[in-house]
Amino acid sequence: MNTKEDVYHKICHAVLKMEISKGHLKWTLSDISREADVTRSLIYYYFGKEKKTILEEAFRYVTEVLFNTGNSERLGLVNRMKFVLERINSMPFIFVLFFLKKREDSELGRIVRKAEEELFVILKRDFPELTEKEVKQLYILELGSIAFNLDQNDVSDVFNYYESKQKTISDS
């Protein structure tokens, strides 16, 4: 049986997939309903009827997943990246949409930039010894891992340097 979060994820996934495949707001709620295999009334329940609002909420949810900013629990760098990569594998087109919208002067662009800012706060909190430049390098490494579709088994090898820095700080 699907949990509420699974259903919500399926709807958001469908919205963003239709946004990429059909174009900006050129999809219908029936398209989303079919793609997510849910009723239109369930979409209305979670998101309302306004397509722009539905798209923004789906994008907000997915950027939280992409950046793992909605999770207050500290997962550690390696576990957070494994979680992010697992979720991205279920909706690879979000990475394309992320880069298409990032610089736009739109609500979607603002959502992406806000999520990035939140991620930088998390990285600075978790790695206080890193300089601003090193935090950006870590962020770029994360984006590269997503773009490269890094295998989850290789995450530890790639992020081990930073993970060891994080453990040194927490042991102090």
**DSSP, residue by residue, 103-163:** TSSSHHHHHHHHHHHHHHHHHHHH-TTS-HHHHHHHHHHHHHHHHTT--GGGHHHHHHHHH
CA distances for 57 relative to 33, 62, 113, 138, angstroms? 16, 9, 15, 27
**At 168, is the pLDDT very low, low, confident or very high (cuts 50, 70, 90)?**
low
Residue 165 has pLDDT above 70, yes or no: no
Position 86, amino acid? E
Higher pLDDT, 39 or 168: 39
Element containing residue 172 per DSSP (H, E): none
Higher pLDDT, 102 or 38: 38
* pLDDT tens profile 38-68: 999 999 999 999 999 999 999 998 888 777 7
**d(Cα 43, Cα 154) in Å, to the nearest integer?**
37
| 10 Cβ contact partners less than 8 Å away, ≥ 6 residues apart | 2, 36, 37, 38
The reported pTM is 0.78
CATH T-level topology, domain 4-171: Tetracycline Repressor; domain 2 (1.10.357)
* pLDDT tens profile 105-160: 999 999 989 988 988 998 888 888 889 999 999 889 988 888 888 888 888 888 88
